């Protein structure tokens, strides 16, 4: 179990990057940490790995407090966390197998044991036939597999993944996420994934936390967080595509259909509206299957505000969360997203 208790980090100069963070991640869970640029994600990683200690509070892994442990106990605790990076950080001069064996060499593991372990790891990540290739001879996905195998070399209990798929295309991303899930199932490790990609969270995470200005704003099981419609994280996880030609003063009904909804699909919903003589059209909609359940968000545009209120009330009666929003609010949200994406892209280019 990973436990952060009142973790704060204040940099010299006075920037509070983490502000009383409390977080518990049970064994074997895949936990996503999301947040906008500057929210404190990198700082949290550095504190978790012990590279940059927290200013106050405690971080413990399997009951060992990283701030209190010394000598061999600290080394052991640090080794219990394996790191996977966005850009793999592989050594170009070494083959895949030599990259994987590198941390074992540093730890002084005898050659015979190293060979056995590397063999096992190559098999685990599906790269046995690429063992003698250098990073430049591997695809982005294969390089990330080497990075994952290397992170697992010291048999960590926790895999800490920093934007593990941000540099990969969507097909390769899916394969890497599938691999991470298989490794969790097979090895029983706990996985923390720091990402700005909501699709990664939807696809693989059991639970998720939203970090905002150094604080955990919302944390919980994925489906619970999505169904907590008041939470900004819910809107980010099931986001809507841009809506064409909305005027600032337009009134929209935003509906979230989740597990508790009595209406299973959009078709039924619209039959219901028309049976009540309500004229409305869907401006935008997203339906995702998450952990085997369908979750959908819709923007419905009625003709008048009075109709919008009527529709929202009717949806609520059928267990569908519905609230009114305006064209101006939708536009402001879209602009904030675009700004964040542009910043993430810029950072990617700078690296």
Minimum CB distance to ligand ATP smaller for 41 or for 114: 41
Residue partners of 7: CB distance under 8 A and separation at least 6 = 18, 20, 21, 22, 44, 47, 54, 56, 57, 58, 59
Give phi and psi for 326, each to the nearest 5.
-125, 165
Distance separating alpha carbons of residues 225 and 207, to the nearest angstrom: 8
Taking CB under 6 A as the binding criterion, the range among 13-21, 181-189, 288-296, 319-327 that sits at the site for ligand ATP is 13-21
By CB under 6 A, residue 35 contacts ligand ATP: yes
Q: Which is nearer to ligand ATP, 68 or 347 (CB)?
A: 347
DSSP state of 240: P
Question: CB under 6 A: which stretch of 30-38, 75-83, 139-147, 177-185 binds ligand ATP?
Answer: 30-38
Q: Kindly list the strands in the beta sheet with 251-257, ordered across the sheet, starting from the edge strand earlier in the chain.
A: 280-290, 293-302, 251-257, 321-326
CB of 162 to ligand ATP, least distance (A): 9
Instruction: State the Cα torsion 115-120-123-124 to the nearest 10°.
Output: -140
CB 100, min distance to ligand ATP, A? 27
**Which residue pairs from 301-305 have beta carbons closer than 8 angstroms and sit at least 24 positions apart in sequence?**
301/250, 301/252, 301/253, 302/251, 302/253, 302/278, 303/279, 304/251, 305/251
Shortest separation between residue 213's beta carbon and ligand ATP, angstroms: 8
Interface with ligand ATP, residue 39, by CB under 6 A? yes
* Residue 17 contacts ligand ATP per CB under 6 A: yes
Q: Which position among 37, 175, 229, 231 is part of the footprint of ligand ATP (CB under 6 A)?
A: 37
Smallest distance, Å, CB 108 to ligand ATP? 32
Counting residues that bind ligand ATP (by CB under 6 A) gives 13
Count CB neighbours of 309 within 10 A: 15
Candidate residues 7, 32, 41, 219; the one interacting with ligand ATP per rule CB under 6 A:
41
Q: How far is the CB of 230 from ligand ATP (least distance, A)?
A: 23
Binding site for ligand ATP (CB under 6 A): 11, 13, 15, 17, 35, 37-43, 347
């Amino acid at each position: 179990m990973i436990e952060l208790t009142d973790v704060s980090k204040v940099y010299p100069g006075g920037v509070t990057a983490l502000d009383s963070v409390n977080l518990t991640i049970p064994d074997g869970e895949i936990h996503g940490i999301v947040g906008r640029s500057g929210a404190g994600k990198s700082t949290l990683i550095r504190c978790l790995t012990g590279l940059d200690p927290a200013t106050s509070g405690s971080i413990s892994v399997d009951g060992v407090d990283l701030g209190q442990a010394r000598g061999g106990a600290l080394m052991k605790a640090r080794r219990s966390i394996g790191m996977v990076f966005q850009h793999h950080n592989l050594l170009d001069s070494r083959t895949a197998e030599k990259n994987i064996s590198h941390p074992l060499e540093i730890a002084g593991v005898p050659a015979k044991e190293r060979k056995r372990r590397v063999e096992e790891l190559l098999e685990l990540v599906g790269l046995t036939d690429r063992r003698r290739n250098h990073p430049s001879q591997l695809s982005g996905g294969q390089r990330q597999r080497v990075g994952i195998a290397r992170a697992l070399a010291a048999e960590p209990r926790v895999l800490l993944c920093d934007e593990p798929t941000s540099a990969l295309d969507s097909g390769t991303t899916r394969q890497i996420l599938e691999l991470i899930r298989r490794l969790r199932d097979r090895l029983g490790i706990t996985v923390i994934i720091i990402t700005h990609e909501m699709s990664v969270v939807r696809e693989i995470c059991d639970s998720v936390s939203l970090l905002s200005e150094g604080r955990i704003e919302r944390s919980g099981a994925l489906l619970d967080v999505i169904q907590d419609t008041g939470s900004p994280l819910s809107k980010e996880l099931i986001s809507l595509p841009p809506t064409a030609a909305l005027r600032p003063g337009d009134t929209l009904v935003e509906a979230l259909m989740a597990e508790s909804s009595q209406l299973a699909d959009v078709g039924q919903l619209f039959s219901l509206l028309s049976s009540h003589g309500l004229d409305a059209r869907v401006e935008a909609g997203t339906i995702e299957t998450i952990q085997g359940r369908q979750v959908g968000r819709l923007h419905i545009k009625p003709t008048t505000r009075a109709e919008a209120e009527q529709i929202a009330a009717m949806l609520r009666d059928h267990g569908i969360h519905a609230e009114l929003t305006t064209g101006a609010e939708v536009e402001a949200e879209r602009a904030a997203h675009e700004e964040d994406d542009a910043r993430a892209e810029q950072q990617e280019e700078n690296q």
